[in-house]
Chain A
Amino acid sequence: MTAVAGQAFTAAQFNQYVRDNLNECPAAAATESGTYFVGHGTNEIVERNMVEDFVNPQEATSSTSFTDLGTFGPSVTLETGSRALVGVKSQGRNSTRENVISYEISGATERSPSDSRSLILWTDGTGYSAASFVDAALDLIPGANTFTLKYRTVDGTGEFRRRLLWVLPF
């Protein structure tokens, strides 16, 4: 509201325009250290938190279609808006061809793993190669979304270890 000289400022006006608006600000809505605030719509903000998961064991697959390894994941479930940054890091080796790591989205959004959103690791089969990538996941359906790493090999047996997934939701 715009105050007008000479007009009474009522308790109802204070509650609507001062109290309720202040309660929409980050200081009032903040609940957890390290979180951040993003737009949730016109004149609306929401608190978000970055989440990560890590799977350490060395495990293998010879599947040429995306699949899980012996230990599922890493996988995270969190509330997102329509966008998120997805970080993937892994070590891998394969004496025949490339190892491929992508991520699947399930829940509010359904999106299959894809070579266009993947990390490819290639070694001579003796040593491990390590690499990472950051992907912008756009056009998500807002809500609870689960991000899970999936794996495949182009040929041969692909080994994977120290697999990290993080998601920064907007």
Chain B
Amino acid sequence: MAWTSPMTAVANEIFTAAQFNENIRDNLLETAPAKAQNPGGYFVVGSENSIVEREVHADLVDAAEGTTNTSYSDLETVGPQVTVNTAERALVHLFCGSGASGGDAAAFMSFVVTGATSINTDNSRCVSTSDNITQRSGATVYLDNLNAGSNTFVAKYATSHSDFEATFRNRRITVVPL
């Protein structure tokens, strides 16, 4: 069943069971209370005259691990990662404590999207810190080019100089699907 523009009642015309089912029952079944399943879920527009329940998803990897790979790759503990049902848009927040072991090296944390959508890592969608100081900060990315469906978001890591290891800890990814 789907949303139908509510009929307009006309004086002296019989209100039939079929009209009740289409205009009242079926439309009420398209409202938020009818679709609410998960505490903490929220409602967004799925398509014209249709709403869908979404949830915030997050994952955290606390372990301090490093890489000397100048191309984005996994650390010893893969992730963090979340798999989320999305439409075309989502907010993705990256957060970690990071630093590089010396020189002018920089540490980078980005993410890939797999599943319904394929998006590769990119320095325009990353958290980065430079030098051998451990900082902890985050970055929020707005994606509007997802393919609707099940999408998996996985954090990836790199250093700017293979001679200097980049270390990452308290790594978190949060996805707010829209």
Cβ contact within 8 Å between A43 and B39:
no
Cβ contact within 8 Å between A3 and B36:
no
**A37 and B136 contact, Cβ closer than 8 Å, known pairs A3-B17, A3-B18, A85-B174:** no
Cβ contact within 8 Å between B18 and A5:
yes
Roughly how many angstroms separate A98 CA and B16 CA in the complex, as a whole number?
72
Roughly how many angstroms separate A38 CA and B136 CA in the complex, as a whole number?
31
Cβ contact within 8 Å between B135 and A122:
yes
- A31 touches B (CB below 8 Å): no
Residue of B nearest to A4 (CB): B17
- Kindly state the interface size class of chain A when it binds its partner: 35 or more
Main secondary structure of the interface of A (DSSP, over half): mixed
Cβ contact within 8 Å between A41 and B39:
yes
Roughly how many angstroms separate A92 CA and B140 CA in the complex, as a whole number?
21
Give B contacts to A, CB under 8 Å.
15-18, 20-21, 24-25, 28, 31-34, 36-43, 53, 55-58, 60, 62, 93, 95, 97, 133-138, 140, 170, 172, 174, 176
Chain A residues contacting B172 (CB-CB under 8 Å) are: 135-136
Cβ contact within 8 Å between B137 and A45:
no
Chain B residues contacting A118 (CB-CB under 8 Å) are: 136, 170
Give A contacts to B, CB under 8 Å.
1-7, 9, 17-18, 21-22, 24-26, 36-45, 81-83, 85, 98, 100, 115-122, 131-136, 138, 142, 170
Roughly how many angstroms separate A2 CA and B17 CA in the complex, as a whole number?
8
Roughly how many angstroms separate A74 CA and B169 CA in the complex, as a whole number?
26
Cβ contact within 8 Å between A85 and B138:
no
Cβ contact within 8 Å between A116 and B33:
no
Residue of A nearest to B31 (CB): A25
Cβ contact within 8 Å between A1 and B25:
yes
Cβ contact within 8 Å between A120 and B16:
no
Chain B residues contacting A39 (CB-CB under 8 Å) are: 32, 36-43, 53
Cβ contact within 8 Å between A122 and B133:
yes
Cβ contact within 8 Å between A36 and B42:
yes
Chain B residues contacting A85 (CB-CB under 8 Å) are: 56, 174, 176
Roughly how many angstroms separate A96 CA and B43 CA in the complex, as a whole number?
47
Roughly how many angstroms separate A120 CA and B136 CA in the complex, as a whole number?
5
Cβ contact within 8 Å between A116 and B62:
yes
**What's the nearest-Cβ distance from chain A to residue B55, in Å?**
8
Chain A residues contacting B43 (CB-CB under 8 Å) are: 37-39, 45
Cβ contact within 8 Å between A21 and B97:
no
Cβ contact within 8 Å between B136 and A133:
yes
Cβ contact within 8 Å between B41 and A38:
yes
Chain B residues contacting A131 (CB-CB under 8 Å) are: 135, 137
Cβ contact within 8 Å between B95 and A134:
yes
